[in-house]
A and B are shown apart, each in its own frame.
Chain A
Amino acid sequence: MKKEFSTIGKHIIREDGWEKVTGQAKYGDDFNFPNQLFGVPVRVPAVHAKINHIDYSEIISDPDLIAVCNCSDIPGSAKIGPIRKDQPIFCSERVVTSGDVLSLLVGPSREKLLQLREHIRIDYEPLPILSDPSKALEDDAVLIHPEFKTNLIVHYPLRKGDIEKGFQQSDEVIEQTYTTQCIEHAYVEPEVVIAIPMGKHKGIKIIGSIQNPYTARRIVASVLNWPLTKVRIIQAELGGSFGGKDDTMNILAARAAMAALKTGRPVKICYDREDSILESYKRHPYVMHYKVGFSRNGKIRAMKIDILADGGGYASMSPFVTWRSVVQATGPYEIDHVWTDVRAVYTNNPYTGAMRGFGSPQPIFANESLMDEIAIRTNKTPDEVRRINALRQNSITASGQKLTSHDVNLVTVLDRAVEETGFSKKWRSNHTASCGPHTLSTGSEGNGDDASKLILKENDFIASSDLFKKGIGLAVSYRGCSLGAEGVDAAAAYLSVQPDGSAYLVSGLAENGQGLRTTFSMIAAEVLGLSVADIYYLEQDTGVIPDSGPTVASRSTLMGGAAVKEAAEIVRKRLEKVLMDHWNTTGAAEFNFSDHHVYATGPPNQRIRFPELCEMAFQKGISLAALGWYAGPRVDWDEETGQGPAYFTYVYGCQVAEVRVNIGTGEVYVDRIVAVHDPGKVLNLLGAHGQVFGGVTQGAGYGLWEQINSLSGQIQELNFDQYLIPTSNDIGEIVPIFIEGRDKYGPWGAKSLGEPTLELTAAAIANAVRNATGRRFFNLPLNLEEIMLGRKLINKTAMRGSHV
């Protein structure tokens, strides 16, 4: 019998909504404490430099400066990092990126500190700058971290089958290089943290815009050389994160903690947008070489992939990000012979780390562009060629994993999207009508030597009816859920039902704006037959609930949700036991918890109000508090061959983009995106729609406009006047459609959605632009110059916007 849900899958309003719409919600910068000081970072105007001496003499006795914190104040770890401890809390001898910080000025007025900062004299020697990742592994490349003797951060090989044999079996081979750009998370709230000293025995309390409180705690404790218990992290309301408030925040938390302990007063570090873009990590730019062999019938025989990721100045999450890339780089296709190498390297560019998508949007852009080219070469439509190669039930992935335990819905999502958009017919008709961007008869780059060439000829004009070319394109993906063989995967939730039937809930995963508190409250409410309003979600505090790992990898619903369900079921079992005694039923009795009542479904056919039952349990001394714990099943990976069951389950998606391209200017207009996803069971429909709208819009920004140019390591776009994210006017219709595949993992089979929504959009748009113009573009973003000229125009000298 199909279970009827009363809360799950319904239209439920955010638990924290009213505070947010009335301006009452407290974000990091909305907290202030008596006696509070501010901390302001000191940087050197260089990208790669040796620091000889820092002279504070002009400001050191100024009453507006209470303290200067630097690396000599660190009692514990001076360098940190999730895998490689290569990132200093404060730099001392060298800086390797433009965001690096030497020290923190601490005083009562942030404004005054900014003025004082101008009077610090730093004696430094510039070192050669490595900004091109493809040169990082050359013999004479400057070493970013000489102690590692190479700029290689990590190398993942994946070997399946016999690659040479695969190419021999192929009728045709395509070889191509794709590149993607560096981008910024651009959460609207910049970073904020406040550290409050709590006295000798209580340690320190830290409040901030912290995405992963447990990671922050571990870092702060190791920097202070303290036990974990003495560092309590409380998450403020988070103004967006998208993977971005992790490493940066951990370091800021450590700096604030040091300053607070040094001065004995609360210290707030509050970044402005320029600080934020300058110092925070970014999405990895990738250079991707793909070689694919296929038969005339469209079946892929072999794929050889070589990916280079720019890790920037620090390793950060590069080893994890690129690991996801190596697992998923072929795309969701069954290919017998695969040979993949993914490397991440150090450069002097801004360091790169976690960002929504996490190593998937880049290879998806490449492999999905390639799939369309195979379709064109084999005279098929893009959906046909994908159906021929798609992963299906019991297929074997590139890492040799057999997909058995869940519905492999790739073809289902593809078919649904194709049907919804009338894809094939539109694609064919655009394909026949397509033409390249408009080129002038004079040659578009006439230099004016011959004046007559500057006069436009009759056929240089485009009839307004020909100005816009329509295109449609699709992209599909599979995505491993949660951390996979990347790391320990377990999560906790604590539920405490009160004698009146209301309940406290908190989990070890964090609310980053995605709506986790609401979804988790829904899960508990569903199990106990309550409504979301009965659940009081407590604030995230590392002192209250066990470490549940980071809130990343779209894992919260799957892992944390399962822990909440577990906690609620423990309590429910205890209540059932109380009822069995009370109603004198046998062990076979079944109970239905709904509408604030509990019903015995068999004899004795009784019912009781939920609060009454809770009071009864309380009077009998039964605990109605429980800790739910959910550990992911075993996953495995062989580092040498890249083989193994990488993730315990997967989700599937297909997006279709319909665009118009102005062939006179190169502008791309996104008219409609249909996003069909199988995230497993949809728990919170309103939230799920929000994830799709937001993810697709971010994905379109990645595909069309967003770019951090770091010329010789210096970021050119330090604020929203230069770094352009989509506005309300930029994207047309977005249509979310869900296919709910079955899965034995996750609460009622609920899995992941946040990242899948973003990873496909740029690839779908690129294929639509190809369909409109008849030309393939190999580099993101697809901005005007890319479309008109097929290359990027980068102003190498002028300072723009906030630099001026």
Chain B
Amino acid sequence: MKFSTIKFELNGKPVEIEVPPAMRLLDILRETFKLTGTKEGCGIGECGACTVLLNGQAVASCLLLAGQLEGTKITTIEGLVHDERMNLLQRNFLECGAVQCGFCTPGMLLSAYALLQKDARPTTDDIKNAIAGNLCRCTGYKQIIQAIQKSTESLSDPDQ
């Protein structure tokens, strides 16, 4: 099998890997970097459990191949442990009961995070659309939507 050298930024640090160009980003994260917070639920881009940020956009890491990573910035749930906005979302997810089995949670949080980075005052419909690609079988989404909503309120206007 042919290997390629690929350089990109992972969770804020430059990395260089030697992998087959068709290796999925999901596997690179889980196997090469042992970042197991990114989950696999379908492998075909339908469930969102594998969501990561690619240059700030929420994407399915099961659909991205090593060859597409050169020069990009990839962020996983582990990369945002000290991020204020992510911490707020995490706290609100717990406060609102948005986590049951938790398998969808990292992906869900990253989709929510990407939305709030782009738009600090999204409408409820914006929120629903932002997570429409993240399947959750446990919660029925209500408490997740509520948690994201709550994070926008406390973020958007400190004077309110």
Contacts and interface: CB of A to CB of B under 8 A. Distances in A.
A20 B105 contact: yes
Interface in B30-76: 30, 35-44, 46-47, 49, 76
Nearest to A731: B140
A686 interface: yes
Given A13-B94, A21-B90, A29-B40, A719 B101 contact: no
Interface string B121-160: 0000001110111111111111111000000000000000
The interface residues of chain A, by DSSP majority, are classed as loop
Given A29-B40, A189-B101, A686-B97, 17 more contacts: A20-B99, A20-B102, A23-B35, A23-B38, A23-B76, A25-B102, A27-B39, A188-B101, A188-B103, A513-B103, A515-B100, A689-B143, A693-B141, A694-B138, A728-B134, A728-B144, A729-B132
B138 A189 contact: no
Q: Which 10 A-B pairs have the closest CB atoms?
A: A23-B37, A513-B101, A239-B103, A20-B102, A697-B140, A693-B140, A23-B77, A720-B46, A30-B36, A21-B90
B81 interface: yes
Contacts, number: 167
Contact of B132 (A20, A727, A731): A727
Contacts of A18: 90, 94
A594 B36 CA distance: 40
B138 A22 contact: no
B110 to A, nearest CB: 10
Contacts of A350: none
A686 B133 CA distance: 25
A720 B132 CA distance: 13
Given A26-B36, A728-B131, A728-B145, A21 B137 contact: no
Interface in B6-32: 30
Nearest to B38: A23
A554 interface: no
A512 B102 CA distance: 10
Contact of B97 (A26, A189, A689, A719): A689
14 contacts: A17-B94, A21-B94, A21-B99, A21-B106, A24-B37, A27-B103, A188-B101, A188-B137, A272-B43, A698-B137, A719-B42, A726-B141, A728-B141, A729-B128
A513 B100 contact: yes
Given A23-B76, A725-B135, A720 B44 contact: yes
Contacts of B96: 686
A719 B46 contact: yes
Given A23-B78, A690-B138, A693-B140, A729 B129 contact: yes
Contacts of B78: 22-23
Interface string A514-525: 110000000000
A690 B100 contact: yes
Nearest to A274: B43
Interface in A181-216: 185-190
A62 interface: no
B44 A719 contact: yes
B141 A188 contact: no
Interface in A646-697: 686-687, 689-690, 692-697
Contacts of B105: 20-21
A686 B46 CA distance: 29
A726 B139 CA distance: 11
Given A20-B105, A23-B106, A189 B39 contact: yes
A614 to B, nearest CB: 29
A222 B105 CA distance: 37
A14 B46 contact: no
Interface in A1-55: 13-14, 16-27, 29-30
A720 B76 contact: no
A445 interface: no
B95 interface: yes
Query: Could you say which of A21, A29, A185, A189 has the most chain B C-beta atoms within 10 Å of its C-beta?
Result: A21
Contacts of A640: none
Contacts of A312: none
A22 B37 contact: yes
Nearest to A721: B46
A22 B76 CA distance: 10
B90 A239 contact: no
Nearest to B147: A21
Given A20-B99, A720-B47, A188 B94 contact: no
A782 interface: no
A188 B135 contact: yes
